[in-house]
Amino acid sequence: MPNATEIKRVFKNHGLAPKKWMGQNLLADPFYLARIVEAAEVKPGEAIVEIGAGLGVLTEELAARGAVVYALEVDAGFFRVLEEKFEGSTVVRPIHADALKYDFRALAERIGKLRVVANLPYSISSRLIFAFHENRDIFSSLHILLQKEVADRLVAMPGTKDYGVLTVLLGVSGHVEVMFDIPAKAFFPVPEVVSSMVKITFPDVPPISVQDSRLLSKLVKASFAARRKTLRNALRSAPIEGISQEIVELAAETARIELGRRGETLSPREFTRFCDEMSGQGLKGDLTQERGSSARSS
């Protein structure tokens, strides 16, 4: 099992050093390593995607539990260590790739829905979660380590400072559970923040249904673009393509959404209700235009 001394030795032997700007903080505590793998309920023979595999600490433990690990690592030096460490392994597949650019859909077409177990690099964790959400049809579950402040945002309540776009989108499409915290001293180098183990699942039937998930994403992002503005002003400042102010007003009235509220006060269910009414009003507008065009042409 790894520890900080062993990790330092690997760094020295390979002439490497962790890059702070990339958020490379490696798990160096055997207790928490075992706890993470237990929480992820890794089963022998199943495929696991690891993002930011680093020096292969978590990779090795996942493989020891019988998983087939697709270990992504963008850092060239770390990737060389992975290749050496797992040379000849039949269950670890090192992949030299940037997770933000990697074609996860192509991998899912080969091996089925993806399960992620990973200590996500701090610097790209939020962008990765957005990517997972946008491609949620190919991910069954995520067991990921995040900065505690990021994890708290995912389960924040409406009206709080931590409540944001991801909170709403994940609240509509998935289930989020903050499982446990991990102290900074469990990592090397020691970060300045506490981490949290988070479980996210995307069920086939989402917790809250919405007619147009793309429109919902646009609506939520526009509503949070200027947190201090009311919904009316926010949606004027950042208009949604194809959605006029008239549609906004009609949809809000029908959905019983007060446009004098700020976006951060709406619950996920209120956002979906607002979105569904927008979608319906937009469709009515399209039909009206089509009928007008048909009448003029005749």
What does the alpha-carbon distance between residue 46 and residue 24 come to, in Å, rounded to a whole number?
27
* pLDDT tens-digit readout, 105-155: 999 999 999 999 999 988 899 999 999 999 999 999 999 999 999 999 999
- Beta-carbon neighbour count of residue 76 at 10 Å? 9
* pLDDT tens-digit readout, 184-241: 999 988 888 999 999 999 999 999 999 999 999 999 999 999 888 999 999 999 899 8
State the average pLDDT over residues 153-181: 97
The two structure tokens encoding residue 226? 């200027």
Q: Write 179-187 long-range contacts (CB < 8 A, 24+).
A: 179/39, 180/35, 180/39, 181/148, 182/29, 182/32, 182/145, 185/29, 186/27, 186/28, 186/29, 186/31, 186/32, 187/25, 187/26, 187/27, 187/28, 187/29
What does the alpha-carbon distance between residue 239 and residue 25 come to, in Å, rounded to a whole number?
40
**Total residues belonging to the chain:** 298
Higher local confidence (pLDDT), 135 or 282: 135
Q: Look at residues 137, 105, 106, 100 and name the one whose alpha carbon lies nearest to residue 121.
A: 100
Work out the widest C-alpha separation in the chain, in whole angstroms: 82
Q: What percent of the chain has pLDDT over 90?
A: 78
Element (H, E) at 297: helix 268-297
Asked if residue 298 has pLDDT above 50, the reply is: no
Determine which of 3-7, 49-53, 103-107, 200-204 has the lowest per-residue pLDDT on average.
Answer: 3-7
What does the alpha-carbon distance between residue 20 and residue 1 come to, in Å, rounded to a whole number?
24
Determine which of 27-41, 82-96, 253-267, 275-289 has the lowest per-residue pLDDT on average.
Answer: 275-289
